[in-house]
Amino acid sequence: MRPEREVSRTDSRSSFLREIWAKPNETLSQHAQECSVRLKAFLRSLPPDAVADLSFASEEFESRLFATVYLHDVGKASRGFQEAMAALRNGKRVSPRGLPHALLSIPFGLACAPPVDGLPIEALTVSSHHTPYYDGLYSDYSTADARFVRESYFWEEAIAFFRKLPRVHKRFLGRSYPFMLGEPVVRGVGEWLEILREPLRDYPRPQIRRAYGTFMAALHFSDWLASGHRDPPALEPRQVSVAVGSLIARKDGTLKRYQEEAAETMGHLLVHLPTGTGKTETALLWAERNTRSGRVAYLLPTRVVSNALFDRFRRPVEAEGLGLGDRVGLCHGTSAFRYASELGCKSEEYRSQRLLASTWITPVTVATLDQLLLARMNWSHWEMVESLAAGGAIILDEAHAYEPYTQALALLACQEFAALGSRIAVMSATFPKFLRRAFAEVLGDPKLLSPEAFDKKARHRLTWRDENLLCAVEEVAREVRAGRRVLVIANTVGGVSEFYRALRSRIEPQRTMMYHSRYIEAHRREKEDRINEVSAARSGQGFALVATQVVEVGLDIDFDILFTEAAPIDALVQRLGRVNRKGAKGIADVMVFRSDEGGRRVYGSDASSRAEELLEGVDGQVLCEGLLRELIERQYPAEEALAALQEEVRRASRRIRDVRRQLWQVQTLQLSDEARFLRALASSRPDEMPSVDVIPSCFRDKVERVPCGVLAAQYIVRVPLRIAHDRLQFVDGRLYVRLQYDKEFGLAAGPDAGD
């Protein structure tokens, strides 16, 4: 068929078209077939638990999903869309005019199957497969009447495609379609939207959320992979365990006994191992045996450690990696910038890798925990994240590293995903008894790996100093001049800034650096590269890193001596893990100083006082692992700490329930909702100190000149909302903050000069 003939037919009022084109060179029937093949892979990955209480029999569920995938693009049988496809084949790019094709697919979704609890779930899904569903979706078209809508279609072609559904269903699924097809009815757009909206206004039961999420995930999985002509990515049999075994063989020779136990465990797992003992390898051996869907999600507290683990998983085994290549994806707030920097923001490979990673389609996903927690509150791509995590192996590392409210959210997430067939491993180098009990309660008596063989291992000697950290400035300078690598940790950005300013006047500027969480992404990466370079160097060039507790998790560094403000024992143990990491330097010195008032606000007055009392009691002692475990239990008396955490769980559960209810279970949070949600969180629960990604206003000109929007992420910094909530400004979909910024010192806590 010649393109110029197509245009003339499209322009006429005739409803005759030889083919419905879904893509410039792919018909609707061809695209539906490709999508159906990918749907089968999606269905194979779903464990029975994932849909056990959705009011569907298994075969009915599959048939409904098939109908949704088959019909999602039938609205492309429209004059505007077919004009655009014809123009593309003639080398011209035009946007389809008229009504969106997803909107025009609604009547076919309504007619293909009866509603579920009054909700036409197939129609709702096809209507929102390009724009996430929210109450105002398509409101700009709501005045279009039935006559205008009818004239938008090649109606006979759309009906003919619709009528083929039972026959195609039988060919693909091997059984008859279980429903009698209805008659698609053309209505005004406002009427269609009301049909979708009406059953949601009555606040549907929570199971509807999961049903809709699964339908949406199945459609996106099938459509996106088919559109990219990609097979569903998957791991080879035993790919992970073989890679881990090879890696361990290169390092130590054989698996440790606790690693063998993990590999043999079937079910949930708690892992309590010191830093530097192979927790990551232990978790991966467990994961390969315990994933039912073929997917593994490795969740971490920070972007820094997520980036590092992602790199390690991708690297070949001979470079001390796992050789997973593009079978592993990275997902956090600025991961798109990472992909764009490597692949080029305009490349097809960038778009593909970013999509697969951000939606957890890759068989192994390295992500920050907040990506899973936000999905539970209907954040972007929540349907994909939740559905593809169901039935997989979920590894929650560094479980101790979160404040109580986030730990509560993590407990609720573990409980929910365990009910969906996921198996969960929770790991920590400092795993207090109350936290182990909390996870054991929601997971139902998981296996605990906590080898006593490490109890006598010792790497540090503690000296208690009942004075301010600033008193040690000259001592740190002497250590640097003597060629030692010194780690200095203060509990607040203000404390770090004060110490750094005093130190840099005593030593050469290139021999010290300030580091905390309030740097833009580009500057932070520069600093991390420099820190890793210093840590790996074997020369006697002295250096002092002055940092906040951001170094506790993420940077795989090894310094010679530590000067730190007091902190709760579990946090202190993480700091110790950044000095004499492997124990190869004998016994390293650790100087611990009284915390200032800012640090007491960070950790709480009671926790800070208890920690200082415990640390003073071990002044001059060598800290073996057994002693550190004892101190952690004394820091967190089990009954008291567990009761406090359980109260946080109740509060978190109410918040999730309220958020989902306000969103009618199925709506996706919009950008304006995000801003309101964060502001409300900051004002109502200031103790939780939520943070938000912002761009300092001084970079606005540079952001507006970037060739691709994703590259603006290099100017993002994460800042506590309590110091920024009244200085935020949305401009062109980006969140700016009017606070002073400096490359050396980072984001200040005061306004821009002159503002």
CA 635 centroid distance within chain:
31
pLDDT digits (tens, 9 = 90+) for 306-333: 998 999 999 988 787 888 988 999 999 8
Q: Could you give the CA distance from residue 183 to residue 188 in angstroms, rounded to a whole number?
A: 16
Predicted confidence (pLDDT) at residue 114 exceeds the cutoff of 90? yes
pLDDT digits (tens, 9 = 90+) for 508-543: 999 999 999 899 988 988 999 899 889 888 767 899
DSSP 3-state of 95: coil
Pairing of strands 269-272, 423-428: parallel
User: Are 629 and 455 spatial neighbours (Cβ–Cβ below 8 Å)?
Assistant: yes
Pairing of strands 717-720, 691-696: antiparallel
Q: Which residues, listed in sequence order, are joined to residue 718 by a DSSP beta bridge? A: 693
User: Are 611 and 483 spatial neighbours (Cβ–Cβ below 8 Å)?
Assistant: no
Q: How many other CB atoms sit within 10 Å of the CB of residue 353?
A: 22
Find the distance separating the first CA and the last CA of the chain, reported in whole Å: 63
The pair of structure tokens assigned to 563 is: 């000067």
Q: How many other CB atoms sit within 10 Å of the CB of residue 149?
A: 23
Predicted confidence (pLDDT) at residue 684 exceeds the cutoff of 80? no
- Could you state, in order of their start, the residue ranges of all structural domains in the chain? 3-227, 239-450, 458-636, 670-751
pLDDT at residue 394 in the model: 98
pLDDT digits (tens, 9 = 90+) for 137-155: 999 999 999 999 999 999 9
CA angle 284, 285, 289 (to 5 degrees): 105
CA angle 690, 692, 698 (to 5 degrees): 140
pLDDT digits (tens, 9 = 90+) for 247-301: 887 776 788 899 999 999 999 999 999 877 888 999 999 999 999 999 999 999 9
pLDDT digits (tens, 9 = 90+) for 356-386: 999 999 999 999 999 999 899 898 899 999 9
Portion of the chain with pLDDT greater than 70, in percent? 93
pLDDT digits (tens, 9 = 90+) for 712-749: 989 998 887 777 878 888 888 888 999 999 999 999 75
Specify the residue for token string 């245009």: 7
User: Are 320 and 312 spatial neighbours (Cβ–Cβ below 8 Å)?
Assistant: yes
Phi, psi of 11 (to 5 degrees): -75, -20
Q: Could you give the CA distance from residue 548 to residue 598 in angstroms, rounded to a whole number?
A: 12
Q: Could you give the CA distance from residue 299 to residue 367 in angstroms, rounded to a whole number?
A: 5
Which ranges of 359-492 would DSSP assign to H, the alpha helix?
Answer: 369-375, 382-389, 404-419, 433-443, 473-481
The pair of structure tokens assigned to 200 is: 């949601």
pLDDT at residue 14 in the model: 44
Using CA of residue 464, residue 469, residue 470, residue 476, what is the dihedral sign?
Answer: positive
CATH topology of domain 3-227: Hypothetical protein af1432 (1.10.3210)
DSSP 3-state of 730: strand
Q: Do domains 3-227 and 239-450 have the same CATH topology?
A: no
Q: Could you give the CA distance from residue 28 to residue 25 in angstroms, rounded to a whole number?
A: 10
Q: Which residues, listed in sequence order, are joined to residue 695 by a DSSP beta bridge? A: 736
Specify the residue for token string 């638990």: 49
The domain over range 239-450 is classified in CATH as 1.10.1790.20: no
pLDDT at residue 583 in the model: 80
Pairing of strands 734-737, 691-696: parallel
- The DSSP H or E segment spanning 38 is helix 28-45
Q: Is 201 exposed, middle or buried (CB count within 10 Å of its CB: 0-12, 13-18, 19+)?
A: exposed
Instruction: Report which DSSP code applies to 670.
Output: P
94: confidence class by pLDDT, cuts 50, 70, 90: confident
Does the pTM of the predicted model rise above 0.85? yes
DSSP 3-state of 478: helix
pLDDT digits (tens, 9 = 90+) for 19-73: 899 999 999 999 999 999 999 999 998 877 666 766 678 899 999 999 999 999 9
Q: Could you give the CA distance from residue 735 to residue 729 in angstroms, rounded to a whole number?
A: 6
Query: Which residues, at least 6 apart from 311, have a Cβ–Cβ distance to it below 8 Å?
Result: 321
CATH topology of domain 458-636: Rossmann fold (3.40.50)
3-state percent breakdown (helix, strand, coil) of the chain, nearest 5: 55, 15, 30
pLDDT at residue 679 in the model: 44
